[in-house]
Amino acid sequence: MTNLIEIKTPDLGEFENVPIIEIFVQVGDVIATDDPLVAIESDKATMEIPASHSGVIKEMKIAVGDAISSGQVLLVVESRGTSVTKKVADEIADEVAVTKEVAPKTAKGNGDKHAALVVLGSGPGGYTAAFRAADLGLDVILIERHENLGGVCLNVGCIPSKALLHVAKVVTDAADAKAIGLDFAPPTVDLKQTLKWKNGIVNQLTQGLAGLAKKRKVTVIHGLGQFISPNRIEVASNSGAETVSFEQAIIAAGSQPIEIPGFPHADPRLLDSTSALALDDIPERLLIVGGGIIGLEMATVYHALGSKISVVEMLAGLMAGADADLVRPLQKRIKHQYENIWLKTKVTQMKALKNGIKVSFEGDQAPENETFGKVLVSVGRTPNGNRINAQAAGVSVSEHGFIAVNDQQQTNIPHIFAIGDIVGQPMLAHKAVHEGKVAAEVAAGLNSGFDARVIPSVAYTDPEVAWVGVTEAEAKAQGLDYGKGVFPWAASGRSLSQGRRDGVTKLLFDNHTHRIIGAGITGSNAGELIAEATLAIEMNADAADIGLSIHAHPTLAETLGLAAEAFEGTITDLYLPKKK
């Protein structure tokens, strides 16, 4: 027996007349208990109000912008009782569909659930693909192994690490302020509060994705998905296993940290890029194995929070892939901050002891062995291609777990697509996003293809390092006839006024056409500044286009215009000998 139930605003405590910033549902939607209904924002926090009942929404009592208080009616649902389960809500949804005589968008498959498109993995690439496909009219099921949407990036990667890097920046800026006459006492770090703040950011973003999925009517299934045939995936969770059948699928299963055999991985003091973000405690001494982007970012965090940092790298330089002159300002800074930086050195053995992890080294610069409170192994990531049983669907997977695709993101099985880390380098979230849109559009019947000329890379260290297009090392190796314009930030009024001079902007140009082919920036907010160079390359801009574009003064962005002028020989902010 059904009845009409008013869903009201719960007790908001001290808050009254809080504005609604987003509504996730509408009349006719079927909701389950605890589904998010609206988002409200006070001057102190943003929160979502969940449903206290399930059923079919019959009437909306609020709109975006309305101010609500405790006990106010939000909407009216036709319900079978209070606080009923998701199963009952699904039954109601089936009845509504029959009553309205709405035919399903796809024929029923031979799985427990069926959809025109299934997306395996809900990282930035996966959720983008699912949402774009839903916007184009496909019914979509999104499978995610984590408890929340967002994949590695939002849950245990890009977002939480950048939150902690902001913490590090605040600490570092306070310490650096002594040079300008501001002497702050050393900070007292409350790790519990720091983690609460970091987790709050993650929760806000992941819950926002849940709301977007609901608004688009994307069905979300949590569990570990593996293919069992070319048109079925089995999803295993704590509540059991279910099969999902599909007409098309997009693999967005990402990657995971590489584990080096023989290391004591069972010891919680041996960290990877995920466990390092948990910030259980700050060790007195921390060894970073691998001098790449992720390792150096985490070194930035732990150094600011009080650890003595050592970095060991097998190669002759840090941050492989970036030009040495871009890395030099960073290396010069951290050389004085960190306990050790050992290059051309490798770790030969680790042994877990009561007082720490004893590490043995091999190399000219390193000692025979040292003991550290914790060790972070950050030597790269490996794709999950061999962990999803893709072979059962006929999808070809390389020995290392990569899946080859064409420019429409199709695998060797045309109705199965793949995107993101699993299709190859660079393993970057922003690449996956664009690949996800392409896959979704092709699945929906549009003529789309992945045709990015360049993909930017950013290290959020201090200072930041960013580059895009052809590096100077690559230009030399390829024998390109190139020229460059370089502007040192020691001549930037904006950088000096921020108390920093350790930056550089470098632009590479084709000597014949003067078109920009590459760029590198080191300094504060380099990750933001690289966007202009990326667009310039995509638009085939030449040095004059960049140099004659009026940049605001004083800004860090004007260093791009000045670097272009340096190449053209028109710069007045530096004195450069005339080209012969």
Q: Name the E strands within 373-435.
A: 374-377, 381-383, 416-418
CB-based contacts of 423: which residues, under 8 Å, 6+ apart? 402, 403, 404, 405, 409, 435
Catalytic residues: 553
Task: Tell me the C-alpha distance between 411 and 413, whole Å.
Answer: 5
Task: Tell me the C-alpha distance between 325 and 327, whole Å.
Answer: 6
Task: Tell me the C-alpha distance between 152 and 173, whole Å.
Answer: 29
CB-based contacts of 334: which residues, under 8 Å, 6+ apart? 296, 299, 303, 309, 311, 341, 461
Query: Is residue 55 classed exposed, middle or buried when 0-12, 13-18 and 19+ CB atoms within 10 A define those classes?
Result: buried
Dig out the tokens for 447 from the structure: 């003529």
Which one, of 459, 410, 446, 451, lies nearest residue 434 by Cα?
451
Dig out the tokens for 56 from the structure: 């079919």
Task: Tell me the C-alpha distance between 135 and 437, whole Å.
Answer: 11
Q: Report helix, strand or coil for 255.
A: strand
Residue 29 has a CB neighbour count (10 Å cut-off) of: 20
Handedness of CA 40, 159, 428, 510 (dihedral sign): positive
Is the Cβ–Cβ distance between 231 and 247 less than 8 Å?
yes
Task: Tell me the C-alpha distance between 65 and 240, whole Å.
Answer: 42
